[in-house]
Amino acid sequence: MGLRASWESGWRSWAMRVETERKRASLSAGWRRLRLADAGQWRSGGTPSTSNAAYWDGDIPWISGASMKDFHVTDSARRLTLLGAKNGSRLAEPGTTLFVVRGMSLKSEFRIGVAERQVAFGQDVKALIPADGIDPHFLAYAIRVRTPEILSMVEETSHGTGRLDTARLKELEIGVPSMDEQRRIIAVHAAFERRIGALEQVLSKLDVAREALSAQALGDGQGEGWPRRPLDEVAAVAAGVTLGSEPVGEGTIELPYLRVANVLDGRIDTAEVKSVRILQAQRERFALRKGDLLLTEGGDLDKLGRGAVWDGRIDVCLYQNHVFRVRCGARMLPDFLALYTSSAEGRSYFQRVGKQTTNLASINSTQVKKMPVPVPPIEEQERLLSPIRSVRSRISVIERHIAKLRVVQQGAVEDLLGGKTSALSQRQVAPTS
C-alpha cells in the first residue's frame, strides 16, 4: 500500500470511529451544536467565458474541483484577471473554507481546504465564509471529520461524475467550542504538520540522492565495457490476462490482478486492486512472483515502459495483458534491469520504437524482447545497487513513519473535534520522533 493510500485508509478508520463515538456521547461543556447552514455564508462559484482572453491569465488563482488538492489553498494552474473574476466567477477572501461539490474526485474523496489568499472558484466548488466565533481552519477540520457521511450523500450524474447534495450537507451538525479551544485543536494539528514537514524535507533530499546514485550507476562511462544482449536472452517476457471474456463454472478461480493504473514509475500502487476470473489451469501462467519486473504497454509517449519490481505484497496476484511481466534469469538482477529501463537510455529506446496514435503510444512484446540491455557481471550489478538500496531503505522507513504520524495526527485532532477536550490532556500531542 502506498504512502497516500496508507494515510487515507488510517484516516478514514479514525473518522468512522470518531463519528460513532460522537453519536453516543454528548459534547463537552461549553460546546454548541450548529448546522452547517448556520455556520457561515454559503457562496457558489462559476467559470468566465473561456473565449474571452481578457478574463484569463491574470494574477488570481481560479480553483476548480480538479485543481483543489491541498488543504491550504494558495494557487492553481489556471488564473483569472480581476475582470474575469467579476464576470462569471466569484472571489473568495483569505479565511474562506472551500470544498468540492462536483467532480470525479467525489467518488473516492472529499476535498476541502482554506483559502490562504484571495482566489476565485468555479461552479464545482462551494465557499463557506465562517460566522463570527468560528475559525476557518477549525470549520474545515470539523467538516472533514464527517467525510464518510458526506461521501454517502454523493450522487452520480449522467456524465459519470459525482455530485454532492448541498441541501443535505447543510443539515449536518458540527460541535463548536470556544475560540480558545478551536485554536488549541488547530495548534495540535499544526504541531504534527511541522514534524511531518521536516520528515518530508528529508524525504525530498533522499529522493534526489537516489536519483543521482541511479544515474551514476549507469553513467560516467561505467557501462562501456559491458556486453549488450537482447532482453529476451536474459529474461522471459510475457503478457498477462486478457480481460472481457472471463470463464465461468467449475475449474475457475477469481484472483486479484494488476492493471496499468497500478504500475507506476518506480513503484506498484495497490490501493485499488480489482479481481478477474480465470481457469484454474491458467493460475501458474499469469501469477506474479516476487522479483518480477512489470512494464506498461501503452500511455503517453514519455511514459512508455514505465514500471517497477513486484515485491510480492499480495500472496497470489495476476497481471493484465497491457502489462508486460519480465522475469529475470541468472545473469540479470531485477533491480538492475529496472534501473536501466527507467534510465534516459532505456526510455529513449521505448520512445523510439513506440507506435504513436492520436492520443496514445504503445509498444509490443517483440519490441520489449529486442531491447538491448547491458549485462555486467552479477557482482558488478550488486556493487552498483548497494548504495541505491541503502537509500531506498531509508526512504521506506521515513515513508512509514510519516504514514503513522498522519494516522495519529488525524486521531488526535478528531478526538478533540468530537468534544473530548481531555482526550490528550494526559499525553504529549506533538510528535517528537
> What phi, psi does 30 have (nearest 5°)?
95, -10
What is the CATH number assigned to the segment(s) 32-176?
Answer: 3.90.220.20
315 pLDDT more than 60: yes
Look up the pTM and report it.
0.69
**Where is pLDDT greater, at 60 or 218?**
60
76-130 per-position pLDDT tens digit: 999 999 999 999 999 999 999 999 999 988 888 999 999 999 999 999 999 999 9
- Beta strand residue intervals within 131-234, DSSP E: 154-156, 162-164, 173-176, 228-230
Strand arrangement, sheet containing 154-156: 102-103, 162-164, 154-156
Q: What per-residue confidence (pLDDT) applies to 303? A: 75
The strand pairing partners of 34, in sequence order, are 174
Q: What per-residue confidence (pLDDT) applies to 283? A: 93
Which residues are within 8 A (CB) of 400 and not within 5 positions of it... i.e. 6 or more apart?
none
Q: Name which of 29-33, 162-166, 200-204, 266-270 the model is least confident about.
A: 29-33
* Confidence label for 432 from pLDDT (cuts 50, 70 and 90): very low
- Percent of the chain scoring above 70 in pLDDT: 88
425 pLDDT more than 50: no
> Average pLDDT of 51-69?
94
Q: What per-residue confidence (pLDDT) applies to 376? A: 94
> Average pLDDT of 250-265?
92
The number of residues in the chain equals 433
Q: What per-residue confidence (pLDDT) applies to 159? A: 72
Q: What per-residue confidence (pLDDT) applies to 324? A: 95
154-168 per-position pLDDT tens digit: 998 877 789 999 999
* Confidence label for 3 from pLDDT (cuts 50, 70 and 90): low
Residues 62, 64, 68: CA angle, nearest 5 degrees: 100
Q: Tell me the H-state helices in 51-116.
A: 82-85
To the question of domain 228-375 being in CATH 3.90.220.20, the answer is yes
**Where is pLDDT greater, at 261 or 26?**
261
Q: What per-residue confidence (pLDDT) applies to 18? A: 54
349-374 per-position pLDDT tens digit: 998 998 887 667 889 999 999 999 99
Q: What per-residue confidence (pLDDT) applies to 34? A: 92
Q: What per-residue confidence (pLDDT) applies to 358? A: 65
Burial of 27 (0-12, 13-18, 19+ CB in 10 A): middle
153 pLDDT more than 60: yes
Q: What per-residue confidence (pLDDT) applies to 306? A: 87
> Average pLDDT of 137-147?
91
Which residues are within 8 A (CB) of 157 and not within 5 positions of it... i.e. 6 or more apart?
102, 163
Same fold, 32-176 and 228-375: yes
> Average pLDDT of 178-182?
92
The CA distance from 135 to 318, in Å, is 49
Letter string b/e over residues 209-242, b meaning 16 or more CB atoms within 10 A of that residue's CB: bbeebbeebbeeeebeeeeebebbebbebbbbbe
The CA distance from 239 to 294, in Å, is 10
Alpha-carbon distances, residue 17 vs 10, 111, 151, 309, 387 (angstroms) = 11, 20, 16, 36, 43
* Residue type, position 322, single letter: H
Domain ranges across the chain: 1-31+178-226+388-433, 32-176, 228-375
Averaged pLDDT score across all residues of the chain: 87
Q: What per-residue confidence (pLDDT) applies to 387? A: 95
The CA distance from 291 to 308, in Å, is 9
